[in-house]
Amino acid sequence: MSDQTIVHVMRHGEVHNPDGILYGRLPGFHLSERGRGQAQLVADALADHDVVAVFASPLQRAQETATPIAAAHRVPIITDEELIEAGNRFEGLRVSVGDGALRDPKHWPKMRDPFTPSWGEPYLQIAHRMLGVVDIAREKARGHEAVLVSHQLPVVTLRRFLEGKRLWHDPRRRQCSLASLTSLVYEGDALVDLIYSEPAGASDPTVTGA
């Protein structure tokens, strides 16, 4: 058996969100037609890979993204609550730059601390729960590959933690397109490489709720 294990941490595909809200952990948000196509593109890109385990956040968009990948490798989807979207006090609101909740003074106290942050789940907590699932997947897929389907902020936070960067950051500069892969390469228990790829193409990090 190879000593190399790869854990692909994937962001879900595009979501049907005509009102442009920050849907967070709200139920009922499913992939758009484009999002289903993105999920299939990634499944096709990973078809020849040695994937032996597929994990996904419990949210519908992540489950739908994971479905074609799991089907291609004939493995069940392992649902893990720790892969869920970050908690956010702006959930259900429009928060695009220049409109929506961010212009309303009643919401400004929520933004007093960008470092923890004050408006949502602490970055360090996100990083730790994501790393916990990576470790579980790495052990389950030792010598092979695993796929974890999660959400933009958890994926970005995990990556910044592993790269030793500060966890608070400018969300407009995130490198985490829809259906992108952040692939963690391990030799034994040592992380030796981190590879970012976009099998489904690039997307705009400033589009809220995508």
The two tokens of residue 140 are 């389950």
The two tokens of residue 30 are 């499913």
Q: Tell me the pLDDT tens digit for each residue of 33-47.
A: 999 999 999 999 999
Q: What pLDDT is recorded for position 104?
A: 54
Q: What pLDDT is recorded for position 38?
A: 96
The two tokens of residue 173 are 């500069």
Pick one of 3.40.50.300, 3.40.50.1220, 3.30.70.660, 3.40.50.1240 as the CATH number of 4-197: 3.40.50.1240
Instruction: Indicate the domain borders of the chain.
Output: 4-197
Q: What pLDDT is recorded for position 105?
A: 56
End-to-end CA distance of the chain: 39
Q: What pLDDT is recorded for position 166?
A: 85
Q: What pLDDT is recorded for position 142?
A: 97
Q: What pLDDT is recorded for position 203?
A: 82
pLDDT along the chain (210 residues), means of 10: 91 84 77 96 97 97 97 98 78 52 49 55 91 98 98 94 85 84 97 96 66
pTM of the model: 0.84
Other CB atoms within 10 Å distance of the CB of residue 89: 17
Whether the CB-CB separation of 167 and 156 falls below 8 Å is answered with: no
Q: What pLDDT is recorded for position 167?
A: 81
Q: What pLDDT is recorded for position 112?
A: 46
Q: What pLDDT is recorded for position 41?
A: 97
DSSP state of 24: T
Q: What pLDDT is recorded for position 27?
A: 80
Q: What pLDDT is recorded for position 145?
A: 98
Pairing of strands 145-150, 51-56: parallel
